[in-house]
Structure 1
Amino acid sequence: MNTTTARRQSGEARALLALMEIAKHANWRLDRTGASLSPRFATHLYSDSAQLLLVPSIAELDWQLRSANAAMREARSDALIATLGPSGAELRFAIGLWTSARNMWFAPAWPWVDRSSLWFGCDDLPGEAFPVVEGRLQRKAAPWRDGADEEHGRAKASRWFERVLTGPSGINNK
């Protein structure tokens, strides 16, 4: 195996690890049945209870949005993308909501953690965010009180994902 292939596989595994930890936190059951997707989407996971595709990737986020768009149309479900930046260390996220008319994307999305809750915010949605809970991703009023609270939660989320990718996890771990 060459270095490029090993780096790619390692990056995909790390993105998958992040998505698995998010699914575990939300109690999303990952199903082998449910959405039947083309073989080109074989790396995507599916949660019927959340009607959500989980898309691990190492592709640039813009490219991955186009690819996931097709999978969402096929599955008629929402999507959560986790991709690693060129350095292989920076996680980037995107949330796609499926509608029969067109998919709506919120990207880049960024995680926010406080106590035991995980949310995804997006700069294009001031005052709103997506709580990561059982069931579908839905926009709600953001839980942070001000810019400082938002930054604190984003830093805490960054530390949590750093631990997820390197060792013991759990939102409540410092």
Structure 2
Amino acid sequence: FGDSIALTDALIESGHQNIACLHAPLDVHVSVDRVNGYKQSLAAHNIAVRDEWIVDGGYTHETALKAARQLLSQSPLPEAVFATDSLKLMSIYRAAAEKNIAIPQQLAVVGYSNETLSFILTPAPGGIDVPTQELGQQSCELLFRLISGKPSPQNITVATHMTLK
């Protein structure tokens, strides 16, 4: 939630007002948090939420790419897109390339990613790098504690890192 606010705030502070959100389905708590953070940031800056710019990209490559194409076919085109996960981020890059929309010259793109994806995409996206290896390690440790009947924490938090290009 807080990272989504920070990312959207950073776009606004960079001069962007027309910011879209390509998100995962809202049946997952983390997706709801990320979209709500985006909306809260817009509201805090007195920017109207445009429902047509909040697009569900589904769970698959196909649905994410279809949603990204739909988003980048709208008129007017958003100035920036906040992608709530790496699949949505890759889809925005691909749809932008298909439509000859230059990132970041014509479209700013930020989102949740990881170090490997940030290394592969050109130009590297700004956003939140999620330490997936640490997240996986802590998840396994929690699972093993639960299986063995040992006390386990109710919440586990891993620190993320924000980079803006």
Whether the TM-score (by the shorter chain) exceeds 0.5 is: no
When the two structures are superposed, what TM-score results if normalisation uses the length of structure 1? 0.36
Higher relative contact order, structure no. (Cα contacts within 8 Å, ≥ 6 residues apart) = 2
Which structure shows the higher strand fraction?
1
Which structure shows the higher helix fraction?
2
Larger Rg: 2
When the two structures are superposed, what TM-score results if normalisation uses the length of structure 2? 0.38
